[in-house]
Each structure stands twice: as structure tokens, then as C-alpha cells.
Amino acid sequence: MEQPLYTAKEYATLLGISKSALLKMENDGRLPQPEVRNGARAYHPHDIPRYLQLLGMPPLVETKRRQIFLNFKGGTGKTSISAFYAYRLAQLGMQVLLIDLDPQGHLTQCLGINHESFTSTLYNVLIERLDIRDVIMDTTMNNLKLIPANLDLSPVELALTSMNAREQRLKKSLSAIQDSYDVIVMDASPSIGLLNLNGILASTELFVPVLADFLSYHGLKILFETLATIEEDFDFMLENIYIFLNNYNASHNICQRAKEALEKHYSSYLMKTLIRQDIKIAEAASMGMPIHQYAPKNRGSADLNAFIREVFPNLPIVF
Ligand SMILES: Nc1ncnc2c1ncn2[C@@H]1O[C@H](COP(=O)(O)OP(=O)(O)O)[C@@H](O)[C@H]1O
Ligand SMILES: [Mg+2]
């Protein structure tokens, strides 16, 4: 994963001003002088909030959001889509924290981070009361941070069982740092357990990727029944639930029928955006590269952009 840089024209577009206005304000001293790389101006995504402030424009997001990608079925795209989504949000200037909640550590790998390159995980935070700041890792992007996972996280389920307030420990740990991030994105494992329950209770929003087959569709029923009991037991309410179709192939009859079934039974949660089947998504994920870096002009990137526009309709700068 590389640190993305913008040209003056791209940066001006992101800020919603013309390139000449950007250059003029740099000359006037109203905006800082950018870095120069290979003879050209080079702008960083993490500076976008500061530029918006200097320009007297509103911040990228008004309300901080905590989002979890969850489905009790594996292989629906939780890890790849959450990683690409978070990277893209960071590319657009947001302060983003990704949390790998799966002891298999696929998200960590998806970001190109080696499982041996860190020694602490959420296990140490949730069970041993390590400060959550001590498990946050830098990535090659300044404004994209990661709480990684590896197999060291797997005993957490058992260890949580005997602890006080065992369902709310992640929420409590995050409360110390959540204001520093525009969005916190969690990638869950496909299971019903205490760690995922912690993830749900620490979130304000839920994303459920589903494949267009009927197995995925039936899994949704179990997920919604589980959510209903959580809402009742913990007096808890998610602010938004987004179901989206992933790996969609319009030429397959079963995809059409599964889509129709979702539209009929889950219309209030179903996103308009669907993510089409795209081999570049699988390739990018396996290489530990975000789709917007691996294949920025491909349909996978276009679908992710549409996805972000739907989740952040007021975001001024998605292109
Ligand atoms: N839209 C898509 N098009 C093609 N392949 C996809 C798509 N979404 C996910 N995949 C691939 O499907 C596999 C399972 O996805 P993954 O994100 O690991 O799912 P989960 O985390 O839900 O188990 C991965 O190889 C991934 O790259
Ligand atoms: Mg996964």
C-alpha cells in the first residue's frame, strides 16, 4: 500500500475549488506551499481537513460514525470491502481507524501487514486492560490507522466469558479515542460470539454484505433475529443498517432472483448500490492492495465510490 498523492488539479477538485484558485491562494499565502516531488506539486490526503478549515469550508463529516461489517456467513466480502472502503475514505481525507476483529487476521493481511510485525492485539486491551492506543498501528497512510489481529486474539472469546461487563468492553475502550476519528470501521468474523457482540455494541451502524444466493439470504434472518435480542437485552439501537449485494453478476438468473427477494423483504435496509463481481477485487485483496490503488478505473472502484456516496451523501468531494 502506498501513500497516495494528488496533483494540484485533483486536489482542487477534491476541495471543490478551481486549480487557479488553489494556486492563487498559495501565492497569496492563504494556503500553505505544497511539497514538490519530481518537479510537480504533490498534495496529501491527510491535509484535506486542514485545507477545508483554511478555506472556511465545513468539515468532511459532521457526525463521527462507528461501523461494523458483519454477516454470520463467511466469504461474503466483509474483509475485502471493509478494507477498500476504509482506504478510500482515508484517500478522501477522513481520519479512519480500521479494527480487525477476526483472529484469522485477514484484514490485517489485506492491508499488507505481516502477522509477525506486532505483538499486541485487542486481547491485551479487552482482557489485560492494555491502553487501546498501544495497539493502534500506523499504515503507509497517515490518516489510516489499524488495530491488527492474529491468532493471539483467538482466546479472547473464552477469556471474556468470566469478565465483568464482558459485552461492552470494546465500546468502553473505544470511548477514549473515538473522537479522534471521523469513522471507525470494524471487520468481524463470521460467528456469533462475545467478540462480535462487543463489536456490535461498540458500533452505531451495521453493514451486511450478502451474496446473491439463497443461502446468504436465509442467513440474514438469523442475523436479524440475533440483532433483535441484542437490542432488547442491551437497550441498544443501531442508527443505520445497510444490507448490500456483493459479488453480483447480473447475467446470472439466481442473482436477479435473490435481489428481488431482498427488495421484497428487506427493502428498508437494502442499499441501492451493489458491488459487482470483479476479479480485480479478488486480485487486489490477495495482493494486500486497496482496489483504488490496484485498479482505480475499474468497476470495483466505481462501485465503491457509489457505495460511499450513498453512505455519506453530504460528502462534498467524492469523484
Ligand atoms: N465483488 C467481488 N468480486 C470478486 N471477488 C470478490 C468480491 N468481493 C469479495 N471477493 C472475493 O471473495 C473472497 C471472500 O471475500 P472476503 O472479503 O474474504 O469475505 P469475508 O471476509 O466475508 O469472509 C475473497 O477472495 C475476495 O477477494
Ligand atoms: Mg473476513
Taking the centre of ligand 2 as the mean of its atom positions, its distance from the CA of residue 86, in whole angstroms, is 15
Q: Is the CB of 277 under 6 A from ligand 1?
A: yes
- What mean pLDDT value characterizes the chain? 94
Q: State the CATH class of domain 65-311.
A: alpha beta
- The ligand whose atoms approach the alpha carbon of 289 most closely is 1
What average pLDDT does this structure show over 17-21? 95
Closest CA to ligand 1's atom 27:
282
Report the alpha-carbon distance of residue 240 to residue 233 in Å, rounded: 19
Residue 216, pLDDT score = 79
Taking the centre of ligand 2 as the mean of its atom positions, its distance from the CA of residue 102, in whole angstroms, is 7
**Whether pLDDT at 317 is above 70:** no
Closest CA to ligand 1's atom 9:
77
Taking the centre of ligand 1 as the mean of its atom positions, its distance from the CA of residue 313, in whole angstroms, is 26
Nearest atom of ligand 1 to the alpha carbon of 73? 22
pLDDT in tens, 82-113: 999 999 999 999 999 999 999 999 999 999 89
For the chain, domain boundaries: 8-54, 65-311
For residue 184, the one-letter residue type is I
Residue 213, pLDDT score = 85
Q: Is the CB of 77 under 6 A from ligand 1?
A: yes
- pTM score, whole prediction: 0.96
- The ligand whose atoms approach the alpha carbon of 81 most closely is 1
pLDDT in tens, 21-49: 999 999 999 999 999 999 999 999 999 99
Q: What percentage of the chain carries pLDDT values higher than 70?
A: 98
**Dihedrals phi, psi of 207, to nearest 5 degrees:** -110, 130
Q: Is the CB of 285 under 6 A from ligand 1?
A: yes
Cell 428487506 belongs to residue: 266
- With the most atoms of ligand 1 within 8 angstroms of its CB, the residue from 80, 107, 243 to mutate is 80
Q: Is the CB of 74 under 6 A from ligand 1?
A: yes
All residues at 6 or more sequence positions from 79 whose CB lies less than 8 Å from its CB, including other chains:
69, 102, 106, 107, 110, 187, 285
Would strands 205-211 and 65-69 be described as parallel, antiparallel, or unpaired? parallel
- Of 258, 100, 307, 268, which Cα lies nearest the Cα of 188? 100
Nearest atom of ligand 1 to the alpha carbon of 283? 27
**Is the separation of the CB atoms in 123 and 152 below 8 Å?**
yes
Q: Is the CB of 178 under 6 A from ligand 1?
A: no
